[in-house]
Amino acid sequence: MIDLDKFRDPVVAAKLVKRIESLCDGQHSFMEVCGSHTMAISQFGIRGLIPKSIKLLSGPGCPVCVTSLYDIDRMIAIAGLKDVIFTTFGDMVRVPGSHSSLREARSQGADVRILYSPLDALQIAAENPQKQVVFAGVGFETTSPTIIATVLEAKEKGIGNFSVYPAFKTVPNALKAILESGQTRIDGFLCPGHVSAIIGSRPYQFIPAEYQIPCVIAGFEPLDILESIVMLLEQIKAHKKDGSAFSVQTEYRRGVPDAGNPHALAILDKVMLSCTAEWRAIGSIPETGLCFREEYGSFDASKRFDIKVEPAKEPQGCICGQVMMGLHQPDECPMFGKKCTPENPVGPCMVSSEGACAAWYKYQI
């Protein structure tokens, strides 16, 4: 069992802060991609420890936040169908769609259930053969292998009344889209530890190779984050000194092997294909979604049910998309903490426990 106290040692933290101060010789903007990093940075007051010349930007690393309005509206519509049991992880029930949410659908009679595992949904399907059981396939590479493994088990057991709504997202090409947009100044990436435990470090190699930007795969404790900032600054200093090439480094070595998790990747490759995905408030990004291969198409809830919804529009005034692109901080939204609060969220960034707006609101950054 890992002793987390050693990753929160204030003496070591003070030394890392001094190291950051000695390395920082100008303005730097670093994007923390993962929502768990955003929450940790806020929880542990990292922004208040490091020099103000270092700006930490929240990225699109909250899977609930980036699930498109179109997909949420379709999930709500499916949940409202007769003889459907709609199952999901907890955060999704509160995310507002165009006119409702899964929580509101449940209050109106829909059978919406919050589960901790997709295997629980499979069990519900086995126990209710007269019902269609749908699981909301929301998540990055961290959670998608577990959900897809459940599909394989359903096929093996012949449970045909189980399906998954595929709203999966993948991270690397989303970062490419941010860089290609040219809208956000990014001097380095804190890459997501959980996602990287599955995909490894190789999928990020294009960032230093093509865009000359350093990357560090970071852990989630305060010393992890501070050490990762040190590693980014050291790469930048070495590059300025002698032209050293930028690279992808792994600070979170206790959780991330270089090759990731080959077994989990094999499961994804067996059942799914890369496809274009719609990211809420950001737009369509090629090769950032996972779609079912033809031989597993019968488990695709988005095709199993003939559901049509009206074109979706983002809430007027919500800047979640700009927050997730690193263009604005949460408190720069005119609705932040006023019209939009965790109790009454307008945008998805205020809903999820990993959302940037929720983190800022909770810790009053």
Tokens encoding 182: 């040219």
Q: Which amino acid is at 323?
A: V
Instruction: Yes or no: say if 355 and 60 are a contact pair by the CB < 8 Å rule.
Output: no
Model confidence at 342: pLDDT above 80: yes
Q: How many CB atoms lie within 10 A of CB 83?
A: 11
Amino acid identity, position 255: G
* 93/137 Cα distance (integer angstroms): 13
- Could you tell me the pLDDT band of residue 313, with boundaries at 50, 70 and 90? confident
Rounded mean pLDDT of 117-124? 97
Residue 294 in contact with residue 275, Cβ under 8 Å?
A: no
pLDDT at 22: 97
Of residues 247, 325, 359, the one with CA closest to residue 59: 325
pLDDT of residue 78: 97
Nearest partner of 268 among 364, 181, 360, 141, judged by Cα: 141
pLDDT at 6: 83
So where are the chain's domains? 65-171+260-304
At 190-249, the pLDDT tens digits run 999 999 999 999 999 999 999 999 999 999 999 999 999 999 999 999 999 999 999 999
- Indicate if the pLDDT at residue 85 is higher than 70: yes
Exposure string (b/e) for 131-145, b if CB count within 10 Å is 16 or more?
bbbbbbbbbbbbbbb
Q: Average of pLDDT values for 150-159?
A: 98
What's the pTM value of the predicted model, to 2 decimals? 0.93
| pLDDT, position 91 | 84
Q: 65-171+260-304 in CATH: which number?
A: 3.40.50.11740
- Residue 316's pLDDT is 86
Helical ranges in the chain per DSSP H: 10-23, 35-43, 46-49, 63-66, 69-79, 102-107, 118-127, 144-157, 172-181, 193-199, 206-211, 222-242, 262-271, 301-304, 320-324, 356-363
